[in-house]
């Protein structure tokens, strides 16, 4: 990682180090670099002493608090020797002076990586240790993006009250991550309470969060404690925060700033200690621009911002999740699914998953309920194949017809086969397994239909 405000130096160091086989990321100021470092861990940092927004010493101090094991090489001017010495006292690994001597730089980088290899490896092993021991519903993942999120969860869990904003499409597992943050933190023995901000009308949501005094409104026949009060010492999860009304946003902002509030209709100031985790599938930046979400609240919520990617961009996670749900529902329903056929794997991996993990979970639950196993087969995924056709295949065919054919060509037989398979399945389903009717819908005789049913593994009635 290179942090230097001079673009020419960043480009020079990036090109030089990449020529030596290193992977390089570069930043021009301390703020962006520390933001990136809160989510990812490089193997070595080259850090300029003079940055536009803060000093290199400040960045070094923050960086060492995050990763004490990390070798940091300071970049200094000859006139900054005293500051370089100060940096060494703060546990910088070494320093190089401008103008940079290339040979010395490469020696320092190689030596720094070699001498810290063991401690870096121990850090990675400890960071990948069984943080989630005893927690059975962690989302199985092999994707780099989710591993980075889990790494940030580990850091959040070590802190007492950091506010977290979890963003992502519906169905990606934002609630699971919120639970995970709570259960791996010092707050795990205290309440985890959640509320869906989109599910309650404005007046009811306010009362639900802050509570109310007797007589505060017509139906307030008794005093009621709100979720913020009930979650004291624990965590409150505000799902679909983008749907919260502006006047409630004002009160929530005060809670985040002062950890205090008043019940609806009350005068007493109630002080709480609670971690607030919010989640949204909306673009809150756009909501801020439209005036539908307070900018000050947005920035108070995203002290740590976790962006959960959709399942379609996490292909390595599809099979671990499928196996995970198969195991859970087989146990619940006393079934024996323990294998996935190659063709079924292909269907699962090629599907676009617009409903994300929730859709996959529902598909597997339905399959285990209705089928017997022990193998998950393509015919169990008929609904999925049709939805895949609806969402994906027409676009691919249209691209082939409208755009020039690519230089590498297209797989014509495969594409035509997919189309034929989808249409045969559609006709077969529409006729409820009546082969004569299905053949008539497709303009085929029954022998040709039967051949295609066998060819595409479509079960005959």
The domains found in the chain, sorted by start residue, are 2-124 (3.40.50.2300), 144-307 (3.40.50.300), 313-455 (1.10.8.60)
% pLDDT > 90, the chain = 29
Report the pLDDT averaged over residues 273-283.
93
Give tens-digit pLDDT for 25-52. 999 999 888 888 876 788 899 999 889 9
Give the torsion through C-alpha atoms of 435, 440, 446, 451, to 10 deg.
-90
Give tens-digit pLDDT for 173-183. 899 899 989 98
**Residue with token string 């923050």:** 62
* Average pLDDT in the chain: 84
Residue 140, SS3? Answer: coil
Q: Buried b / exposed e across 2-33, counting CB within 10 Å, b at 16+?
A: bbbbeeebbeebeebbeeeebebebbbbbeeb
Q: Report residue 3's pLDDT band, with 50, 70 and 90 as the boundaries.
A: very high
β 260-261/270-271 pair status? antiparallel
**Residue with token string 């020696």:** 107
C-beta of residue 198 within 8 angstroms of C-beta of residue 240: yes
Give tens-digit pLDDT for 374-416. 889 888 887 665 555 555 666 667 777 877 887 778 878 877 8
Two structure tokens written together for 149:
């999120």
Q: Which helix (H) or strand (E) holds 325?
A: helix 318-332
Q: Report residue 130's pLDDT band, with 50, 70 and 90 as the boundaries.
A: very low
pLDDT of residue 136: 46
């Amino acid at each position: 990682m290179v942090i230097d405000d001079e673009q020419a130096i960043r480009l020079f160091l990036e090109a030089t180090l990449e020529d030596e086989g290193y992977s390089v990321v570069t930043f021009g100021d301390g703020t962006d670099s520390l933001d990136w470092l809160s989510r990812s861990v490089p193997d070595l940092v080259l850090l300029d002493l003079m940055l536009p927004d803060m000093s290199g010493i400040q960045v070094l101090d923050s960086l060492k608090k995050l990763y004490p094991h990390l070798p940091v090489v300071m970049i200094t001017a000859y006139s900054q020797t005293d500051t370089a010495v100060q940096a060494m006292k703060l546990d910088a690994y070494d320093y190089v002076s401008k103008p940079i001597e290339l040979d010395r730089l490469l020696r320092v980088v190689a030596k720094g990586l070699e001498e810290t290899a063991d401690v870096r490896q121990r850090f990675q092993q400890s960071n990948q240790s069984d943080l989630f021991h005893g927690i059975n519903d962690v989302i199985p993942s092999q994707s780099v993006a989710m591993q980075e999120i889990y790494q940030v969860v580990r850091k959040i869990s070590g802190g007492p009250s950091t506010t977290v904003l979890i963003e992502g499409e519906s169905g990606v597992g934002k609630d699971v991550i919120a639970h995970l943050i709570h259960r791996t933190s010092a707050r795990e023995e205290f309440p985890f309470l959640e509320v869906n901000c989109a599910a309650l009308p404005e007046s009811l949501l306010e009362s639900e969060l802050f509570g109310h005094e007797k007589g505060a409104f017509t139906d307030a026949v008794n005093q009621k404690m709100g979720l913020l009060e009930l979650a004291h010492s624990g965590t409150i999860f505000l799902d679909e925060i983008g749907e919260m009304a502006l006047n409630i946003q004002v009160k929530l902002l005060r809670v985040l700033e002062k950890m205090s509030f008043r019940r609806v209709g009350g005068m007493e100031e109630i002080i709480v200690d609670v971690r607030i985790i919010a989640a949204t599938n909306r673009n809150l930046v756009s909501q801020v621009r439209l005036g539908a979400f307070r900018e000050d609240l947005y920035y108070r919520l995203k002290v740590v911002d976790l962006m959960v990617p959709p399942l379609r961009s996490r292909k390595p996670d599809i099979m671990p999740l499928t196996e995970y749900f198969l195991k859970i529902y087989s146990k619940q329903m006393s079934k024996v699914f323990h294998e996935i056929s190659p063709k079924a794997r292909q269907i699962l991996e090629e599907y676009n998953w617009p409903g994300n993990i929730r859709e996959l979970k529902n598909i597997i639950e339905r399959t285990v309920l209705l089928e017997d196993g022990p193998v998950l087969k393509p015919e169990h995924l008929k609904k999925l194949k049709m939805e895949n056709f609806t969402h994906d295949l027409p676009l691919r065919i249209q691209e082939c017809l409208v755009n020039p054919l690519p230089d590498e060509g297209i797989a014509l037989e495969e594409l035509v086969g997919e189309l034929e398979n989808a249409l045969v399945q559609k006709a077969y389903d529409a006729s409820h397994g009546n082969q004569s009717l299905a053949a008539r819908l497709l303009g085929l005789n029954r022998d040709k239909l039967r051949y295609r049913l066998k060819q595409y593994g479509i079960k005959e009635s």
